[in-house]
Structure 1
Amino acid sequence: MQDASPTKLLIVDDLPENLQALEALIRGPGRAVFQAGSGEEALALLLQHDFAMAILDVQMPGMDGFELAELMRGTEKTRQIPIVFVTAAGKELNYSFKGYEAGAVDVLYKPLDPPAVKGKVAVFVALYEQREAMRRQVEALEAARREQEATQAKLQHALVMRDEFMSMVSHEMRTPLNTLYLETQLRKMQLERGNMAAFGPDQLQRMVARDDRQIQSIIRLIDDMLDVSRIRSGKLSLRPGWVELSGLLRRVVQDLTPQATTAGTSITLDAATPVSGWWDEFRIEQIVVNLLTNALRYGCQKPVQVTLTVDQDWARVDVRDCGSGIAPDKQDKIFEPYERGVGSEGPAGLGLGLYISRQLAEVHEGSLTLQSKPGEGSVFSLTLPRRDAPPAR
């Protein structure tokens, strides 16, 4: 793609009439001619712009053309600019030799030959534009190479993530499936032996409870994977309705209290203010359960606190644990899929809970944020907007 910017030419002369005449001679389509009435003005322009060539008058008061050329050759930015000297002095002063010695590509004597000047300018403009086109091609190739490397790196990362994901799924599903399989084999053995006493009311109740826990573990894993698929395909939908949030929190805390007791800790709830909103009850409960489950898992067996704060425009649920906290450089990463915490008790899961929870919060036009310091625990805050139900259609 051709660069739309014009090719810039610099002409330097202390006489305005000479500048006007020379510009009229060399200007043309796609060119921008810059004028300087002194060496100092020329240096200022040279530092601001990239020129295809510079036409310098030799005899100027103050800094003459040769001195300006010497300064140009000593500066990295202007070193490669072709210089053409123009002089009204006679050839007997041997300015040609001095000009070439100063790094000029040509020396022209006044009165100027218009066709010769136009031809020389056209040559240097063409060379400059060819160099620029080649530079742009090299930059485009380099950008394409970097993009290809980035794509390959992403592909390699995706392959690694796929393998890790499959390994995690296999590991997490194997545990409940193995338990179910062993339970089934044990019952089969008891039946083959005719030991019906092993299936008394108390034993059956414990068996059903164990089976239910393992089946629920498998269902949660499958649901998490399905939610991730829906999120990434943009097919995650809500089923909103009127939800009373404080009641929902009381129900979830009550349901998880046995789990907290088993983990050697407790959950306290501060949600005295009733608040209703137009939310998806199932999804909000899913978020709160994820947050509480994580708090119990990573809370170092210390109490977990749930607080409901109500404002005119929003409601916020804070889940606070007193665990080891999360390092600042890991706080964003834990909301990414398949990122799992360390130091937990029991199975760590697929590392999808916080990712799904944040996505669900954002689908509600709310947010899920984290405040944490190492050694001081963590606070996950679910903020939900309060709004009326949409009008009936």
Structure 2
Amino acid sequence: MRKRIDRRRWSFVYAVYGVLFVLLTAGYIGAITYFTGFDTAVGWASLLFVLILLMLIFALVRAMQAETSDSAVTLNEIVDRAISGRSQSRDTGYTESAASALEHKVTRYVELSSSNEHKLEKEKSRIKALISDISHQTKTPLSNIILYSGLLEETPGLSEEARGHVASIKDQSAKLDWLISSLVKMSRLETGIIAIRADLAPVLDTITLAVSQVYAAAEQKGIEVRIHCDSGVQARHDAKWTTEALFNLLENAVKYGKPSGGSITITVQASEMFTRIDVADNGTGIPEGEWNDIFKRFYRGKGASKVEGIGIGLYLTREILTAEGGYIKVSSAPGEGSVFSVFLPAL
């Protein structure tokens, strides 16, 4: 479409200049003939001069078009080589022409981009190795602490005070294990190490899997979980990581929900562009001034101080949904509960 507009515009310009040239030529020949008393020889000489001038102008325009076309072809080849990752060849040579200067700048830019990309890949590999080392080096000691705490808890003759201390060690070790796991996931998402593969699939299975991970805690706290979703509703998402995102929302709904008489309602609505998943609860709620802050890393709201947490869950949820091409928003009020709306691409 753009090319058609450019061609029409240049055709109009050529037509205007052509008409002006014909008018000026006719006026010039007419004036010369008039001032020389309508001398035929002068008129023919003037016409011949104009024709020669016209041919020279035409030849000049054609030469300029050919040079422009050659420059465009050269630059197109340079860009194609840059896109394909092939090495740049000096087609124009080291001349003082604008095309040569531009080719050298493009070549230099491609070389710098390739160098920076290589450095980024090396840095990413180094970060990946560091994260793997941290995960591996901390996993074994924590597993041992949890294991030995369990064995110590089963030791006969252990006093109640000692059993309380052992239970605290197990509890804190489990929290530390979860924290390290969350930090590793967060780092991998931020550095692009984790590849999220979004495919068109039913969302009911993903929601059911996320609910199954919090159902025991919700039942223990007396919170009812309801799902309103048609089995045929689909969305483009990564089932594993979307389950992680929904689990974080459901876990918060359980933690901040009412001890008894609480409820969590999951409603799914399909539209042309997005599939919307609403996770609604009747818990403590969130002030409007904190709606944007709760998705920040390590942010804890003023009303969340009494509930254990470190402020990673919602941040991870937003990062996962963003990587899938979706987004999340919240609507809430203190004492009236919250509604977290997840939007997943439907196409």
- Greater C-alpha Rg: 1
TM-score, length basis structure 2: 0.50
TM-score, length basis structure 1: 0.44
- Richer in helix (by share): 2
